[in-house]
Amino acid sequence: MSILLIGDFTETEYATWSSRLLLHLPGNEPLVQATREYDKRAVRVALVANPPAGSLSSLPNLRFIQSLWAGVDQLLSDASLPTDIPLARLVDPAMTQAMVECAIAQVFYLHRQLPTYLKQQSERMWRQLAQPLASDRSVGVLGLGALGLPVARALAALGFPVVGWSLNPRKDTSIESYHGTDGLAKVANKSRILINLLPLTSQTARILNEALFQQLPTGAALMNLARGGHLVERDLLAALDDQRLTHAVLDVFNAEPLPADHAFWTHPQITVFPHVAATTDPASAARIASENIAAFFAGRNVSGLVCRSRGY
């Protein structure tokens, strides 16, 4: 039996992942990679990162799929993905920490008005802006899962009034939280900065749209750290143009890399990051994926087990 590594990796990335995985995987199962020749019947586990559509349907003895990314929306959009094989997404404390740090960085970038000060510097303009404290800048967090909840808690600990929203009711978040459609309006009303950390599912696609932007306080800012599919790009441009939103920080896009002729690149009210909020660290991900494989075959709890109907 063998473990298959398959993804949209360069050969260098394959080499990095292989060397990291070999430190942690059980020694008795060879690690094979999809760009080399391998026996499809021998594959018992697939370690995947955006594998080509259809690539997992031809493995007759596949028992477990471990994603090396936190988001599995692209994987689940593959209609040929076997529905009866357990699938786990990566839940990695190092990635959670990276996302928390990214969210802090971007919230303070907006809170301390860096877009305006950087523009003023480019014009050699010495002008002091009124500066509220964090306690006067409420932040909304959409998504209270493995990434959203730690982000919400970190921002609350830094003094921001934080409200959270999730599709379904969440208990014990220690954050003022709401759910459902009514709850979304309540959270939007209170969010001078709105951060999206939802999983991308049929229920959350295009959730960052005109209707939501209408419910934000005038002058609010948006941060999308989840998936490009959450955002209706045209609605964002309209909300920025009429100053309902002052700024957007975007890390994810419908097309990545963001095409060179895309309007977002040069928009003065948009800060573009190349999908770097929380990248997988092969060192910690290889350890966690290996532990998950061992847990699966030992019948223990697997971290990040995906519910197919829920979509994450």
> How far apart are alpha carbons 43 and 61 in whole angstroms?
6
Site string for a second copy, 64-103 (x = CB under 8 A): ------------------------------x--xx--xx-
End-to-end Cα separation, the chain, in angstroms: 28
Closer by beta carbon to a second copy, 104 or else 185:
104
Return the residues of window 8-47 that contact a second copy according to CB under 8 A.
Answer: none
Would you count residue 124 as binding a second copy (CB under 8 A)?
Answer: yes
Please give the sequence-ordered ranges of beta strands (E in DSSP) within the chain, or none if there are none.
Answer: 2-7, 31-33, 43-49, 64-67, 87-88, 139-142, 162-166, 176-179, 193-196, 220-224, 245-250, 270-272
Among 10, 131, 301, 309, binds a second copy (CB under 8 A): 131
Site string for a second copy, 229-268 (x = CB under 8 A): ---------------------------xxx-x----xx--
Return the residues of window 140-179 that contact a second copy according to CB under 8 A.
Answer: 158-159
The 10 Å CB-count burial string (b at 16+, else e) for 78-91 is beebeeeeebbbbb
> How far apart are alpha carbons 109 and 93 in whole angstroms?
24
> How far apart are alpha carbons 138 and 123 in whole angstroms?
30
CB of 86 to a second copy, least distance (A): 30
244 assigned to active site: no
Among 22, 118, 283, 305, binds a second copy (CB under 8 A): 118
Among 86, 274, 308, 310, binds a second copy (CB under 8 A): 274
CB of 287 to a second copy, least distance (A): 16
What are the residues facing 3 on neighbouring strands?
31, 45
Among candidate residues 111, 227, 247, 287, the one labeled active-site is: 227
> How far apart are alpha carbons 78 and 258 in whole angstroms?
23
Closer by beta carbon to a second copy, 1 or else 283:
283
Among 128, 202, 301, 309, binds a second copy (CB under 8 A): 128
Among 114, 238, 294, 295, binds a second copy (CB under 8 A): 114
Closer by beta carbon to a second copy, 84 or else 261:
261
Q: Which residues contact 248 (CB under 8 A, 6 or more apart)?
A: 221, 222, 223, 224, 236, 240, 269, 270, 271
Q: Which amino acid, 265?
A: W
> How far apart are alpha carbons 291 and 263 in whole angstroms?
43
Closer by beta carbon to a second copy, 260 or else 307:
260
Provide the token pair at 204. 């959350």
111 assigned to active site: no
Would you count residue 117 as binding a second copy (CB under 8 A)?
Answer: yes
What are the residues facing 66 on neighbouring strands?
47, 88
Q: Which amino acid, 134?
A: A
Binding site residues, a second copy, CB under 8 A: 94, 97-98, 101-102, 104-106, 108-109, 111-112, 114, 117-118, 120-121, 124, 126-129, 131, 133-135, 158-159, 256-258, 260, 265-266, 271-276, 279
